Amino acid sequence: MLRTEKLSGFDAECVLAKGISLESVPGPTGSTVLYIQPCASVEGRVNCELRFGIPGRGAKETFYDFTILSRVLNAYNDKFAETRVSSNLGVARIQWQGKKILISKNGRIVIREALDEEDAKATMDFLSKLLAPSIICDRCGQVLVNCATASCGECAKQRASFATLPVHPLWTDGVQGVGRLTDALIERRESLEKDVKLVVPSSSGPLSAQADKVLRLNLDLIVQSGDREELVAGIVLLRHAWDLSLILELLDQVHQQGHNNLGSFVTPILRTIESWLIALKESTDGIVDERARRSSITRWPQFHEAWSRLRLEAENSPRLKTILNPLFERWPM
């Protein structure tokens, strides 16, 4: 995410296009871009303090959205010896490969007990990628996971396809995993539309496990990305995996509550999900197909309109609000 490559197809002020930079942090010299010193508690190790910011804008009071940052860290939890996040305080602590890491919402990172300077810089690179989806964009004010999918409505304009992505199993699995899960949920939605009382053959258990696998795979893609183009494609797939998990929960609610509790809202809910799945399918196809990518940019506003109508209807129906509010609070991310 640092300023090493150019990225076309996004507004020049979007952080995806600008990248992020290292800002000055307090130190003995008063203004040190990357401060590394010997570790006092473990001989032979080093500590490092740095702060990410926006090129030309400097450090920000709120650099990371901690709701999204928490979701990223918890989804990658098995990689860490410890994960503790306080969204209220805007602080997260993780232990990764023997290092103790403190992450603050203003972009300040403290890495303790790194092997050496190179290990500290490798950790910085790892964190700059892993946490990228939670960075708040300077252009639209939304998180980068929304910018990457064009769902922020401002930053991505006629985004070209990711035609230059390397063809290897990790990327193939990522794209195909999202595609297969999308198709399975399209089938499930159609089954519920025919008969909401129907016992759907594809129970939520296997689909939920599939969704978790796709989510984790896409985080691996982000961390292993070799350039900005790969990073953005990984963020697109991550957003899709999150959306598909939420759609699965929403379909489960429709199935469990049925017409008895949802009444006339069943149809608009299923139609909203249909619009969502179409946008996701075209956006996923657009990772390797420019025509689908451009089509998906027009699909997202259609879905947002349907989603807004559904939220408005829920506000006027206490029963619907009780059922759907826990899901509404998690989107937009």
What pLDDT is recorded for position 166? 54
36-71: pLDDT as tens digits: 888 888 999 999 998 888 877 766 789 999 999 999
**Integer angstrom CA distances of residue 23 from 59, 220, 274:** 6, 27, 44
128-164: pLDDT as tens digits: 999 999 999 989 999 999 888 777 878 876 544 454 4
Higher pLDDT, 230 or 45: 45
Look at residue 33 and tell me whether its pLDDT is greater than 90: no
Domains, the chain, with CATH or none: 21-134 (3.30.310.10), 169-328 (1.20.58)
Look at residue 78 and tell me whether its pLDDT is greater than 70: yes
Look at residue 231 and tell me whether its pLDDT is greater than 50: yes
94 membership: H or E segment, kind and range: strand 91-96
Of 286, 324, 323, nearest to 307 by C-alpha is 324
177-200: pLDDT as tens digits: 888 899 999 988 888 888 766 555
Coil, strand or helix at 184? helix
What pLDDT is recorded for position 19? 86
Of 250, 256, 248, nearest to 269 by C-alpha is 250
The arithmetic mean of pLDDT across residues 244-263, rounded, is 83
Look at residue 295 and tell me whether its pLDDT is greater than 70: no
Of 300, 55, 5, 65, nearest to 159 by C-alpha is 300
* Residue 24 confidence class, pLDDT cut points 50, 70, 90: low
Tokens of 143: 């998180």
